């Protein structure tokens, strides 16, 4: 079995990673220290930094190369007006994850949650927990007597936390409470197990993950926000059709069957967003816009994936799909 490339996703520690002169090697710097270990091989690091800290980012990259020449360090500039603003930080990280070419067949992703603000750490946790970053969490810690132990070659400890493993369920549950409490304080509270609701129809995070994994297995690169958008509007138009004694399902499936690119997806979870996309297109053609608008159900979107406004429609997080409710 071919060994996967190990990729770490991390924020530059503006305080923890700082240090100058030869004395810096006796200070625990998390992004450098993880590359000083003999028992841990990292192939690439995606390191977020702000432009004003570019000199520090360059020094950290140089020191990593000095201790681990095989490790590639990609400096990823991420400017945040307020690194303690939950909405801004989450949006920027979500946008980055949505555009990043994850390849879980060839690579594994470790998300470092030791550096960055507490808000950044929480946002990274949420993105991993929701599988928008398909990886595991990485926590690092310094040795007890930092200066003395570092001089002796003890660069601290690390722990890998896989939120998909049942043995970490208690940890996930313990972390979820304060995380969702903070999210509520910043206006982002929502059931962590629900992606969206349309009337009485619930689109769960588990269903969304199943769809995304199925589409990835088919060679596609789905965006969760866009999938939610397709699902929501498909449900809206199908509900409107049913209230008129009709259904768009059969016609939507026929449209899919007529497209040879979509035929392989039939019968898989990845079929659902495409079928809902055709539901929407057919609904626009066959249903009276006034009747659709008049029967618009209540819609709630998990803030991880976007926002819903009855007048403006669905505004996806980091996506380009925006369909007006009047459609």
pTM of the model: 0.56
Instruction: Give 178-219 pLDDT, tens digit per residue.
Output: 555 555 544 444 444 678 888 888 888 888 888 988 888 888
Cα Rg of the chain, angstroms = 23
Higher-confidence residue of 40 and 309: namely 40
Rounded CA gap, 48 and 50, in Å? 7
- Residue 44: both structure tokens together: 């690439």
Domain limits, the chain = 5-185, 194-316
∠ Cα 270 219 210 (to 5°) = 35
Number of Cβ within 10 Å of residue 66's Cβ equals 12
Determine the average pLDDT of the residues in 3-30.
92
Strands (E) in the chain, as ranges, are 5-11, 44-49, 72-77, 107-112, 136-141, 157-161, 194-198, 201-204, 299-301, 306-309, 313-316
Buried b (16+ CB within 10 A) or exposed e, 30-49: bbbbbbbbeebebbbbbbbb
The HSE-up count of residue 298 (CA atoms within 13 Å, CB side) is 5
Tell me what pLDDT residue 308 has. 74
Cα–Cα distances (Å) from 9 to 12, 126, 133, 187, 208, in that order, read: 10, 14, 10, 26, 23
> Which position has the token pair 């200066």?
147
DSSP secondary structure string for all residues of 217-254: HTT----HHHHHHHHHHHHHHHHHHHHTT--SHHHHHH
Q: Is the pLDDT of residue 324 over 50?
A: no
Token representation of residue 202: 């619930």
pLDDT in tens, 128-146: 988 889 999 999 998 888 7
Contact 36, 24 (CB under 8 A): no
Fold of 5-185: Rossmann fold (3.40.50)
């Amino acid at each position: 079995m071919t060994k996967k490339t190990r990729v770490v996703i991390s924020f530059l520690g503006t305080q923890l990673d700082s240090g100058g002169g030869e004395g810096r090697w006796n200070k625990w710097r998390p992004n450098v220290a993880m590359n000083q270990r003999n028992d841990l091989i990292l192939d690439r690091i995606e390191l977020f930094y702000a432009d004003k800290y570019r000199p520090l980012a360059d020094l950290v990259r140089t020191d990593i190369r000095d201790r681990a020449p095989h490790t590639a360090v990609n400096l990823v500039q991420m400017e945040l007006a307020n690194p303690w603003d939950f909405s801004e930080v989450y949006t920027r990280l979500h946008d980055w994850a949505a555009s990043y070419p994850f390849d879980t067949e060839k690579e594994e992703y470790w998300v470092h949650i030791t550096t960055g603000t507490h808000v950044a750490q929480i946002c990274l946790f949420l993105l991993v927990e929701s599988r928008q970053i398909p990886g595991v969490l990485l926590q690092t810690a310094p040795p007890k007597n930092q200066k003395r132990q570092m001089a002796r070659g003890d660069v601290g400890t690390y722990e890998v936390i896989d939120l998909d493993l049942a043995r970490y369920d208690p940890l996930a549950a313990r972390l979820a409470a304060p995380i969702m409490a903070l999210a509520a304080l910043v206006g982002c509270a929502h059931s962590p197990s629900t992606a969206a609701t349309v009337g009485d129809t619930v689109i769960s995070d588990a269903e969304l993950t199943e769809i995304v994994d199925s589409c990835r297995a088919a060679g596609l690169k789905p965006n969760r926000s866009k999938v939610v958008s397709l699902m929501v509007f498909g449900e809206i138009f199908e509900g409107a059709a049913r209230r008129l004694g009709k259904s768009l399902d059969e016609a939507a499936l026929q449209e899919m069957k007529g497209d040879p690119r979509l035929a392989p997806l039939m019968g898989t979870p990845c079929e659902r967003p495409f079928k809902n996309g055709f539901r929407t297109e057919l609904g626009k053609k066959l249903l009276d816009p006034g009747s659709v608008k008049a029967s618009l159900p209540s819609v709630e979107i998990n803030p991880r994936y976007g926002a819903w406004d009855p007048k403006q429609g669905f505004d996806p997080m980091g996506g380009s799909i925006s369909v007006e409710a009047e459609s």
